[in-house]
Structure 1
Amino acid sequence: MRYDVLLVGSGFGSLTAAALLAKRGLKVCVLEQAKYPGGCASSFKRKGYWFETGATTLVGLDEDMPLRYLLDATGITVPVQQLEPSMQVHLAGGEVLTRYKSLERWIAEAERVFGKHNQRPFWEHCYKVSQAVWRTSLQQRSFPFSNLKDLLLSAAHVRPAQLRLLRGAFRTMQDVLLQYDLHTNQVFVDFVNEQLLITAQNHLEEVNELFGATALCYTLYSNYYVPGGLINLVKPVVDYITRKGGDIKYGQQVQRISRMEGGYQVSTGKGSFESRFVISGVPLNNTLELFEEAATRRRLKRHILPSAHLNGAFTMGLVLQGQKPPAVLHHQVHVPGGLPVIGSKSIFISFSHPEDRLRAPAGELVASISTHVQHPQQNHIQDKAVIEEAIVDALAQQGLIQREHIKLQQSATPGAWIFWTGRAYGAVGGYPQFRHIKPWQMKDARLDHQGAYLCGDTVYPGQGIVGVCLSGIIAVEKLLQDHF
């Protein structure tokens, strides 16, 4: 069967694009190598419990945010429970701070922990930048530019507030801390670095102000829990696509994308499919290997980041029986001296909601744990047990878990991510932000300037469910702009 658009992978960027295209009446087909949709924004079932595959937090439903745009455009509804507060951070010195949604409450909390010196102007500034960034993200859907029409359309949508953001592309978060004389407050610097790592995949000397301020402020927007796990964020989108006449085909690992007369041929281990257009929702490193055309490969190569610049993840899943449910579901725990073998300096743990009977029965909780592994291609983990023990010990010291309540324990290295998702090197979290790569230098949605496009966490704007959702919106915008 010939389709209008074939989409490679069912990550949330691909699903966003597929839903918006299906709404326009195009015949779409999503090819997914796994048996579950959603990629890194999904859940998997093991021994009767639902664990999160990768992402565990959900933002983006507020006004001017991409996920809100998707749901409003399609009428899709997602079952969510708002979390307040969304997170607590356990610092290396033993202090625990709560990331409140209210800016005033958060500033008071930051002043309590880090001291009053310039916390208020710093956070007010970051929040103002983040609001402007979110507004601009949907106003400028032709960004980054890769042809003259992009530039003209972007110019037509320019607002004075957008021009004021330009300076932030040339400043790092380190510059912002210097501006507010916070760079010598080491406890605060460590806090900022570890918060940036889970949102921008890099530290303050590399992350520009636009991404950094937005990343640091994500807890100041509505955060949500999805009963049953993030698979239930994905399922309503999949259902919408199929109701609109689209197809989702599982167990279809794409091996090659070839140009043909009038479109593309996409080959998998089980056969081949034809379409007028194609959208890759897998990372740039994987996408490069799929295209045969030399010009497309050359165009992509200059945007590719090697494993040395990427992060993998060491993940754990716990089932806790008889443990008192935590008041806050998401926690970041700083680890003095770092974890053994991998050196990571923080751990992120997310608990299932105590009333969520879809993920675990009454009296039990599921905990999803992750920590960074730098240069995943090089850092092969031979002994998982020593890392597992250090993580459990760190979480137990903070009172987040008790060993005697652990009913089930499992862990996975970046090698497992290669097996689960097929992502090159087992890299997760997307391409990190780097100061030498300005937003307009990031890879845009066009692959070959003919009919192939790209979305996901390795192209603009980058990480997180909300980021890949925006990338899917932009891919659709450019496809329609080019051909309709």
Structure 2
Amino acid sequence: MFDFAVVGSGAGGSSIASLLSKKGYRVALFEKDTNLGGCSSSFKHKGYWYNTGATTLAGYEDGHVVKEVFDEIGLDPNLKESELSMEVIHKGKITKRYRELSKFVRELQKNYPSQKHEQFWNLVYRINQEFYQLKGYYYSNKNIIAKLFSLFSFLPFVIKFRKYLFISGEDFIKRCYGEVEQEYKEFLEAQVLIVAQAKLKEISFFTAAVALAYTFNKNHHVAGGFKKLFEDLTKNVESVFKNTQVLNIDKIGNYFELETAQEKFYAKKVILNSTVYQSDQLFSKKRYKEEFERYKKLDNHQGTFVVYITLKTDKKFDYHYQIIKEKCFTHAISNSVFISFSDDFKDGYVSITASTHTNYRIWYDQYQSKKEKLQGEIAQEIIQTFKLSKDEVVDLFSATPLTFKRYINREQVGGNPITMKNFLVKLPANDTHIEGLYQVGDTTFAAQGWPGVMMGVKNLARLLDV
């Protein structure tokens, strides 16, 4: 019998499995797919490697939670730091999102001139720095008493950021800038959507500030891709079961039974790294299904559409770009596409991962025609923007939310947006009402992205008292 069974090997699942293993617990890690990492995994197609989605590791630096977790695990990842987080291409303008604040503000002044930039972006930068320096809070939803005590731990947080928690990002920006030029508003919306997965009118200015400041944290590229990172991250886990989908979980007395197609496994405690919107599918008993069904109302049905390309070219590229169009892509809910080039330019080959936001319910009918249409639009945008010839494209295909469902068992991609309607008290915690059952990942506390998920890992470790 295992001490812990972790279902799902995304950033949260792999990290907590490794952390618990480091502390001497017997851990089993289950992954439905061939590759570890979930939305952050790597995969091979026609002999070429691609990053599934996430292609940067943000927040790996002293004083930040990502490095704290990795240090506790004993992981020293092979990373390449980048001063330039990405280049934003918008209506013929190129804005370089430098990590250094003053350099970035100069870029903004060049493309979206305003006397308010320095004041506004200094505030964004300060909020982000102060947020990551704040420690001591935790979040529990095991029962009403545990929840109230944990919420009390956020009092210093609420006092410090109270001016920014109860006003929308859109309203605060209007207050700061006055009339906001449409092009600059489009720029801000596109930056926020990458991180917060929501629009400025839906989130508090605090959330908007942390999202806008994401590029001021250290951003790294993983040498060898995320496949190598997850292999290193989980190498001290006793039992890693790939290609092993957990079909049903049942509690028998003081332990859990996990049923797979191959065999049954037993563990004292279970940690789910699945989305809270679909975790009910892992249970057959009504009590356990109801634990997660109550979170379905938080599902914004947001998914991702990703185009994958391999090029044979001698052209040189930066790592990350964002293209902002005037109108939304067809069958998407965003007018921008985030483009990442691989970090290894071997023998003239380079892979591209290009993603945009969509609603996963769009893909329930006319699937193939919709897929071809959106793939064609994004591919054409990339080819035109980077002046590529068709001969340079050696592989081109795409993935819809249903593709993600097939391989990593999730349609909703991007996490649980921290909007004004579901801020904190309505968030799923890392514990549950069921004794011995826990959860981690981008749909639970604290948020999406590596920093948000690692905050959840730290919170879960505290709740487990390890």
For Structure 1 versus Structure 2, the TM-score category normalised by the shorter chain is: over 0.9
Tell me the equivalent position of 1:411. Answer: 398
Tell me the equivalent position of 1:344. Answer: 334
Q: Residues 452 and 377 from structure 1, CA distance in 2 versus in 1: closer, same or farther, beyond 3 angstroms?
A: farther
- Please, what TM-score do these two structures have when normalized by structure 2? 0.93
Task: Say whether residues 1:382 and 2:363 are aligned partners.
Answer: no
Q: 1-side partners of 2:179 and 2:258: how far apart?
A: 51
SS in 2 for 1:273: strand
Q: Residues 176 and 323 from structure 1, CA distance in 2 versus in 1: closer, same or farther, beyond 3 angstroms?
A: farther
Contact 1:144 1:443 (8 Å CA) reproduced: yes
SS in 1 for 2:5: strand
Tell me the equivalent position of 1:125. Answer: 123
2:316 to 325, 329, 335: 325
Q: 1-side partners of 2:16 and 2:392: how far apart?
A: 43
Tell me the equivalent position of 2:459. Answer: 474
1:385-464 aligned within 5 A: 385-399=372-386, 401-423=388-410, 426-464=411-449
Q: 2-side partners of 1:296 and 1:168: how far apart?
A: 37
Q: 2-side partners of 1:449 and 1:89: how far apart?
A: 45
Contact 2:360 2:401 (8 Å CA) reproduced: no
Tell me the equivalent position of 2:93. Answer: 95
Shift of 1:139: 2.9
1:124-273 aligned within 5 A: 124-136=122-134, 138-142=135-139, 147-149=144-146, 151-152=148-149, 155=152, 159=156, 163-182=159-178, 184-241=180-237, 246-273=238-265
Q: Residues 34 and 128 from structure 1, CA distance in 2 versus in 1: closer, same or farther, beyond 3 angstroms?
A: same
Q: 1-side partners of 2:225 and 2:389: how far apart?
A: 23
2:355 to 363, 370, 376: 370
Q: CA offsets per residue over residues 349-398 of structure 1, 9 Å max, x none?
A: 10112xx2xxx632121111111112435564322332222212222332
Tell me the equivalent position of 1:312. Answer: 303
Q: 2-side partners of 1:40 and 1:179: how far apart?
A: 37
Contact 2:141 2:433 (8 Å CA) reproduced: no
Shift of 1:270: 1.7
Q: 1-side partners of 2:209 and 2:364: how far apart?
A: 31
SS in 2 for 1:382: helix
Identity %: 26
Q: 2-side partners of 1:322 and 1:154: how far apart?
A: 54
2:111 to 106, 110, 113: 113
SS in 1 for 2:438: strand
Q: 2-side partners of 1:464 and 1:305: how far apart?
A: 22
Q: 2-side partners of 1:145 and 1:206: how far apart?
A: 28
Counting matched residue pairs gives 464
Shift of 1:147: 4.9
Contact 1:84 1:101 (8 Å CA) reproduced: yes
Q: 2-side partners of 1:77 and 1:305: how far apart?
A: 39
Q: 2-side partners of 1:306 and 1:180: how far apart?
A: 31
Q: Residues 408 and 166 from structure 1, CA distance in 2 versus in 1: closer, same or farther, beyond 3 angstroms?
A: same
Q: Which segment is superposed worse, 364-373 or 430-439?
A: 430-439
Shift of 1:462: 2.1
Tell me the equivalent position of 1:46. Answer: 45
Contact 1:314 1:414 (8 Å CA) reproduced: yes
Q: Residues 156 and 406 from structure 1, CA distance in 2 versus in 1: closer, same or farther, beyond 3 angstroms?
A: closer
SS in 1 for 2:425: helix
Shift of 1:463: 1.3
Shift of 1:182: 4.9
Q: Residues 464 and 376 from structure 1, CA distance in 2 versus in 1: closer, same or farther, beyond 3 angstroms?
A: farther
Tell me the equivalent position of 1:26. Answer: 25
Shift of 1:142: 3.7
Q: 2-side partners of 1:472 and 1:247: how far apart?
A: 20
Q: Residues 337 and 197 from structure 1, CA distance in 2 versus in 1: closer, same or farther, beyond 3 angstroms?
A: same
Q: Residues 400 and 460 from structure 1, CA distance in 2 versus in 1: closer, same or farther, beyond 3 angstroms?
A: farther
Tell me the equivalent position of 1:81. Answer: 80
- Please, what TM-score do these two structures have when normalized by structure 1? 0.90
SS in 1 for 2:201: coil
Contact 2:15 2:234 (8 Å CA) reproduced: no
Ranges in structure 1 where 5+ consecutive residues have no aligned partner: none
